[in-house]
C-alpha cells in the first residue's frame, strides 16, 4: 500500500502546470483531490514518475454565471457543488446528485474535474453532465478547446483529453426544476451500479437522459428520449419509454452486478427518474 516513488510539483498557475505536463509527458499525472489517483498509486495500478498537484491553482475553483451558462472550475469539490446556492437555484440536478457521492471525506476532497477525467464507469457526475449537454474546456500547450460532453467519454477510464492537457472548466445551462437523479449504489463505496439523470424540457416537450454505471462508458439513453419526443409525460408513456434504457448497450458484468441486473436497474431507475422529474414540472 505504499506508492512507487515520484517527484512532486505544486505549480501556482495553470500555465506553469501545463508547462510541467508538457515537459514530463506521459510520465506525469495531475493530482486534484487525490481520491482516485492516490488509491490507484498505492495499489501500484498507477505509477507516475511525476505528480503535478493543481490544488493551489485558485483560478480552477469557482462556480459562476457567465454568458448565460453556469461555469464550474475543474477543481471545485463535490461538497462545494452540493452547497452552492447558485446551482441549487439554476441547475438543481447538480445539487441533487452531489450528496449522493461517496461520503463526507470524499465529497470534501474529490473534485468534479477529477471525477470526469478519471472516467470511472461507476462515477456519478457523467450521468448529469451528459443529460445537461455540458461543454468541457480543456487547455494544453497549444491553447484551449471546448469539447461537447458527448465526445468526451471514449471508453473505460478513457476520455478525449490528451496527456498534456488539463480540464479547466465545465459549462452547464440553467435548467428548470424538472430534473432528477436516481441511482442504485454499491453499498460500501456509494459508486453507481446504475445511475440515471433526467432533465425534462417542458417547453420543447423533450427529455434528456444520462446513464452511468451500466456500461463501460456513460451514455445518453437515445431510444428513451426518442420515444418521449413530443409526448406528454404520463405513467404509461414513461413506462413504455423506460423499457428502452439499455437498448443497444453492452452492460458490464462484474462482481457487483450481472449484465442482466444492470440493464434491469437502468430501466427501473430511468422510469423513477422520469416520474420524479415530471412531477416537478
User: Cβ closer to ligand FAD: 46 or 174?
Assistant: 46
Binding to ligand FAD by residue 251, rule CB under 6 A?
no
Alpha-carbon gap, residue 100 to 121, rounded angstroms: 16
- Applying CB under 6 A, the span of 61-69, 117-125, 218-226, 270-278 interacting with ligand FAD comes to 117-125
User: Cβ closer to ligand FAD: 43 or 281?
Assistant: 43
Report which of 225, 206, 227 is spatially closest to residue 281, judged by C-alpha positions.
206
Alpha-carbon gap, residue 218 to 139, rounded angstroms: 23
Contact 196, 269 (CB under 8 A): yes
- Residue ranges in 74-113 that form contacts with ligand FAD under rule CB under 6 A: 74, 101-102, 106, 110-111, 113
Binding to ligand FAD by residue 37, rule CB under 6 A?
yes
Binding to ligand FAD by residue 32, rule CB under 6 A?
yes
User: Cβ closer to ligand FAD: 54 or 233?
Assistant: 54
At its nearest, how many Å lie between ligand FAD and the CB of residue 113?
Answer: 4
Tell the residue number behind the cell numbers 428502452, with chain if given.
Answer: 244
At its nearest, how many Å lie between ligand FAD and the CB of residue 196?
Answer: 14
Binding to ligand FAD by residue 144, rule CB under 6 A?
no
Contact 194, 262 (CB under 8 A): yes
- Applying CB under 6 A, the span of 170-178, 188-196, 222-230, 260-268 interacting with ligand FAD comes to 188-196
- Going from the C-alpha of 204 to that of each of 69, 193, 208, 229, the distances in angstroms are 19, 31, 11, 9
At its nearest, how many Å lie between ligand FAD and the CB of residue 34?
Answer: 4
What are 27's three cell numbers? Answer: 510520465
Ramachandran class of 182: left when φ > 0, alpha when ψ lies in -120 to 50, beta otherwise = beta
Binding to ligand FAD by residue 129, rule CB under 6 A?
no
Alpha-carbon gap, residue 137 to 67, rounded angstroms: 15
What are 155's three cell numbers? Answer: 471508453
- Applying CB under 6 A, the span of 29-37, 61-69, 171-179, 257-265 interacting with ligand FAD comes to 29-37
Query: Which residue among 146, 162, 189, 222 contacts ligand FAD (CB under 6 A)?
Result: 189
Alpha-carbon gap, residue 211 to 192, rounded angstroms: 10
Report which of 159, 155, 181 is spatially closest to residue 170, judged by C-alpha positions.
159
User: Cβ closer to ligand FAD: 123 or 249?
Assistant: 123
Residues forming the site for ligand FAD (CB under 6 A): 29-37, 39, 74, 101-102, 106, 110-111, 113-115, 117-118, 120, 123-125, 161, 166-167, 189-191
Amino acid at each position: 500500500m505504499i506508492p512507487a516513488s515520484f517527484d512532486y510539483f505544486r505549480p501556482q498557475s495553470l500555465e506553469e502546470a501545463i508547462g510541467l505536463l508538457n515537459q514530463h509527458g506521459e510520465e506525469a499525472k495531475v493530482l486534484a483531490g487525490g481520491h482516485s489517483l492516490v488509491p490507484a498509486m498505492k495499489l501500484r495500478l498507477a505509477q507516475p514518475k511525476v505528480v503535478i498537484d493543481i490544488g493551489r491553482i485558485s483560478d480552477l475553483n469557482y462556480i459562476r454565471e457567465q454568458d448565460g451558462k453556469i461555469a464550474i472550475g475543474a477543481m471545485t469539490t463535490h461538497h462545494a457543488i452540493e452547497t452552492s446556492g447558485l446551482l441549487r437555484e439554476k441547475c438543481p440536478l447538480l445539487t441533487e446528485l452531489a450528496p449522493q457521492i461517496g461520503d463526507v471525506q470524499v465529497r470534501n476532497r474529490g473534485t468534479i474535474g477529477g471525477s470526469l477525467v478519471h472516467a470511472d464507469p461507476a462515477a456519478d457526475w457523467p450521468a448529469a453532465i451528459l443529460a445537461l449537454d455540458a461543454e468541457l474546456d480543456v487547455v494544453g500547450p497549444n491553447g484551449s478547446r471546448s469539447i461537447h460532453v458527448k465526445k468526451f467519454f471514449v471508453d473505460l477510464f478513457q476520455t478525449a483529453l490528451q496527456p498534456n492537457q488539463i480540464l479547466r472548466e465545465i459549462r452547464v445551462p440553467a435548467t428548470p426544476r424538472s430534473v432528477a437523479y436516481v441511482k442504485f449504489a454499491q453499498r460500501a463505496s456509494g459508486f453507481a451500479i446504475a445511475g440515471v439523470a433526467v432533465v425534462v424540457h417542458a417547453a420543447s416537450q423533450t427529455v434528456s437522459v444520462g446513464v452511468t454505471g451500466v456500461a463501460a462508458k456513460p451514455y445518453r439513453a437515445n431510444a428513451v428520449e426518442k420515444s418521449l419526443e413530443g409526448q406528454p409525460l404520463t405513467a404509461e408513456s414513461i413506462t413504455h419509454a423506460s423499457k428502452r434504457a439499455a437498448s443497444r448497450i453492452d452492460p458490464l458484468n462484474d462482481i457487483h452486478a450481472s449484465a442482466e441486473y444492470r440493464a434491469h436497474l437502468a430501466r427501473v431507475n430511468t422510469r423513477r427518474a422520469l416520474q420524479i422529474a415530471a412531477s416537478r414540472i
